[in-house]
Amino acid sequence: MIYTITLNPSIDYSMTVKDMNVTKINRSEEELSSFGGKGINVSAMLGNLGIDSTALGFSGGYTGMEIERLCKRCGIACDFVKIREDSRINVKILSESECAINGKGPMIYLEEEEELLKKLSALSEKDMVILSGNAPESESGKLLENVMEAVSHTIFVADMDGVNLDLAIDKRPYLIKPNEYELAALFGKERFLEEREIIAAAANLRDEGVKNVLVSCGGSGAILAAEDGNFYKIKAPEVQVVNTVGAGDSLLAGFVAARERGKPFDFSLALAVASGSATAASSGIAEGEMVLSLLADM
């Protein structure tokens, strides 16, 4: 079974406002409410590709109930731990320019953390756990570290950045998915100037015990340092970019979906890039039909 973990999910609320004026009352022309959170996005794309998963994490208050309602409406199975504080709301204002305000999120108390850790510790070594994004504030101060430790016996997949990615690498995960800038930061650089530097860095991480390193290169495609010892590269199809939110999560889901079906690494990378590109060309997580259409042309 595949499980995704979103420790700080949200309601993403966007408003389209014409001629925004911060000194006056503005009227929205259109509003859209959807679930937010990297792990939930992965579950959404997995479902669109015909792969079942269960979304884990925390949900609290009215916003938590709405997150679960929106997930279930999209066919995503949920098993969130109920918490005493409200899940967060992220607000995006679309006008001549775009303004986003992300909520801080709830405090996670010890008994709530322990309930999630108990769920995770009960998982099998054959289960895949995809931990995406960062953690909210916790009473223990070590929520993310404790979650990683609890899933270290599973097929562990990590998608995060900075110090948190370093922590994940120490667990020798099955897969990590940095973008090219996150990968460069691991090696103390702002960015890599040449493709061979990306390949060398990915190989270094593989030598450290990460089985597969999937590097997202945005519109250029992706590079994979695979556990079979080989490197794979594929260009992204040309699409009209609508919204890049969730594109990286979709790329990860595409790779996992292909490997779950026993597909070879070259096909898995192609499905990953098609999935990420399809979501970049959509207003939300792309439908499976669009992914397969792009894949057919690659």
* Catalytic sites, residue numbers: 249
Please state the separation of Cα 68 from the chain's center in Å: 17
**What CA–CA distances, in Å, run from 297 to 85, 236, 259, 268, 285?**
47, 11, 21, 15, 20
Can you tell me whether residue 47 is helix, strand or coil? helix
The pair of three-digit structure tokens given for residue 292, joined into one six-digit string: 């397969």
Question: Which string of b and e fits 180-197 if b means at least 16 CB within 10 Å?
Answer: bebbbbbeeeeebeeeeb
- Give the separation between CA 156 and CA 125, rounded to whole angstroms: 9
On whether the CB atoms of residues 9 and 41 are closer than 8 A, the answer is no
List all residues 6 or more positions away from 188 whose beta carbon is below 8 Å from its beta carbon. Answer: none
Dihedral angle at the C-alpha atoms of 78, 243, 34, 17, nearest 10 degrees? Answer: 170
C-alpha angle with apex 218: 46 to 248, nearest 5 degrees?
A: 25
Beta bridge partners of 219: none
**What CA–CA distances, in Å, run from 292 to 67, 223, 248, 296?**
28, 20, 17, 6
- Give the separation between CA 157 and CA 175, rounded to whole angstroms: 5
Task: Report the residue count for the chain.
Answer: 298
